[in-house]
Structure 1
Amino acid sequence: MDADQQLLGRFTARLQGAGCVFALEEAELLLRGARSAAEAEVLLQRRLTGEPLEYVLGWAEFLGRRVKVVPGVFIPRRRTEFLAAAALESASGRNAPVILDLCCGSGALSTVFAAALSKAELHAADLAPDAVAAARSNLGDQAQVYQGDLFDALPRQLRGRIDVVAANAPYVPTEQLPFLPREARIHEPAGALDGGREGLELLRRITAEASEWLSRDGELLVECSSGQAPGLAEDFDAAGFRTATRTDTDTGTAVVSGTLKDRSA
C-alpha cells in the first residue's frame, strides 16, 4: 500500500470513529482539497470537531456546481435543487426574464440561473452582510446583489418588473431549532434557519409583499416543508394568487408557487 492510500485509510478510520457516515468520501475530499499532508491534517481536525464539511472545504455542491461558502453563511441544501428546477422552468419560457433570488444566502440559486439563462437579468438579496458578500463573490458581475430586509433591499425601479421571484427563506419553526442536527444548530447562523412561529413568518411576509414587485405574468415560488405547504397555499390564495404546489417526496420539500389572478388574463 502506497503512502497516499495509507493516509486515506487513516483519515477514513478517524472520521468513522467520529461518527461520520460517509467517512471514505469525506476523507477523499479533504485530501484532494489540501496542498500538503500538514494542511490536510488541519482540515481533518476542523471536521473532527464537528464543523460542517462544506465550511472545511470552502464549497458546497449544488446541481453539479461548486458554490463557495464560508463560516457564518447558510449552507445550500440539496433539497433546494427542487426549487431551483421549478424556478428555472418558469423562467425558461420567458424572453430575457428578470429574476429575483430572495434570501439568497451564498447565491446558489442564482448560479444556476446564470449558467442556464444567458439573457436573464439577475438580482439577489439577503439581510445578512456575510451572505451578501458570499453571493457577490460567487456571482461576480452576473447579478446585482443587495443587502436588506426582503423586498426593502431592492431598488424602486424593479417594482412591477420581476418575472420570477424564487425565495428560499428560513422556515424552521423557532420551537424546533433545538432539535436540528448539531452541525446546523451550532455552526450555521440562526437567522438563516429560524422561520418564527410555525416556520412561516417570513414566507407569509414574502407572500403578502410580492404582488407590487411582480410583472404582469410574474410568478412567486417559495420553498417550505411538505407539512407547511397546505397552510402556505391558503396564504397564497388569500393574497390573490393562482396557486400550485409541488412536492419532492424524497426530501419532504415542497414548492408553493403562484401568479396573481388579476394579472393572468
Structure 2
Amino acid sequence: MAGVRILCNQVIPVTDWNHDYVTIKSKLESKSPLPTIASFDLLNPLDNSGHGYTVKPNGGQIRDWGLHYPNGAKPSVTDLVKAGQGAVSFIVAFKLDAADRYINILSNRVNSAGFNFYYSGGFYMSYIYPSGTPGTIAAASVINAEIGKWYVAVGVFDPVTKAASVRISDAGLQYGPIGTGFPENTSLDTAVSIGGDPNGLTTSSMYGDIACVAYYDGAFTADQRDAMVSVGMDILHERGLV
C-alpha cells in the first residue's frame, strides 16, 4: 500500500487511500537544497517529510500516480499552515486538460496572506494586499500551456526581498516584484489548497492532473530553482507519465 515502509523501501501506489500509512523519504525532500516544510507525493494522504501534514483529495480522483481533477472538481485541501513563514519555495508536477479558463494549480491566497500559482491565458503567480487589491507576478511575456503535457513548476515566493518567480519546465520563467505593502511573514498563514483555492470554488479549480507537491523553507537560488525541475521530471518518469 502506498507510503508503507516495506522491504524495498519504496512508495508503492494504490488507488484507495483508506488505509494506514507511514512516511518514507521522497526525492521531493532528499533532492532539495532547502529544508522541506511538507512533501505531498499524492500517492497517499501523508506529508512524507514527517511533519504531520495531510491532504484530503475531495474532488481529486485518486490514481496510482497522483490525483485527477475533472472539470468542476472541488479542490484538495491540506492542513499545511506555518504561521510567520517568510520566504517559501515550492514544486508541483501537473498537466492541464484545458486552457480556456482560470485554473488554480496551488493556492493559499487570501487578503494579506499567501499566494497562488495559476493559469489564465498564461502561467502566473499572485497575492492580495491587506487593502484587498490583488498583485500579480507577471513581468515575463505570456507563457502558454500545451494541453495534455506534463509540466514541473518550481517557484519562489519571497516577501522579505519582495521577489517571486516560477520556472515552468521548458515553457519559460515567470517572475516579478512583490509590492512593498505585502507583509513579510504571512506566506503560509492559511492552509494550502491543491488544485483550487481556499474558498473551494469549482469555477477556478484544477482541470487536469497533479502528481506531486512540496513546499520548502526559504528561497531557492535561480540555479537551485531550475535544477529542481529535473527532480520533478524524474518523478514523472518513474511513474510512467513522461
TM-score normalised according to structure 2 size: 0.30
Bigger radius of gyration among the two: 1
Higher strand residue share: 2
Higher helix residue share: 1
